[in-house]
Chains A and B, each alone.
Chain A
Amino acid sequence: MKIQIDSSLYERATKASATAGYSSVDEFIAHAIERELKRLDAEDAEQQVADQLRGLGYIE
Chain B
Amino acid sequence: MSLDSEIIIVSGLPRSGTSLMMQMLHVGGVEVVTDHVRTADVDNPRGYFEFERAKQIEHDTSWLPSTRGKAFKMVSQLLYHLPPREPYRIIFMQRDLDEILISQEKMLQRREIAAAPREKIKEAFTLHLERLFEWLHDQRNISVLTVNYNELLDNSRQYAETISEFLGNIPVVPAMVQAIDPNLYRNRRTTPQSQNTSS
Residue B46 is within 8 A (CB to CB) of chain A in the complex? no
Q: Is the CB of B56 within 8 A of A52?
A: no
Residue A50 is within 8 A (CB to CB) of chain B in the complex? yes
CB < 8 Å neighbour of B56 from A51, A57, A58, A60: A60
What is the size, in residues, of chain B's interface with A at 8 Å between Cβ atoms? 22
A27 to B108, CA, bound (A): 45
- Write the chain A residue with the least CB distance to B50: A58
Q: Is the CB of B128 within 8 A of A59?
A: no
Question: Among residues 27 to 56 in chain A, which have CB atoms less than 8 Å away from a CB atom of chain B?
Answer: 41-42, 44-46, 48-53, 55-56
Binding site for A on B (CB under 8 A): 14, 38, 55-56, 75, 77-78, 104, 107-108, 111, 113, 115-116, 120-121, 123-125, 127-128, 131
A51 to B120, CA, bound (A): 13
Q: Is the CB of A45 within 8 A of B128?
A: yes
CB < 8 Å neighbour of B14 from A44, A46, A50, A56: A56
Binding site for B on A (CB under 8 A): 41-42, 44-46, 48-53, 55-60
- Chain A interface mostly: helix
Q: Is the CB of B120 within 8 A of A48?
A: yes
Q: Is the CB of B75 within 8 A of A48?
A: no
Residue among B120, B127, B131 facing the most chain A CB atoms (10 A cut-off): B127
Instruction: Find chain A residues with CB under 8 A from B124 CB.
Output: 44-46, 48-49, 52
A59 to B76, CA, bound (A): 10
CB < 8 Å neighbour of A48 from B38, B55, B121: B121
A53 to B120, CA, bound (A): 15
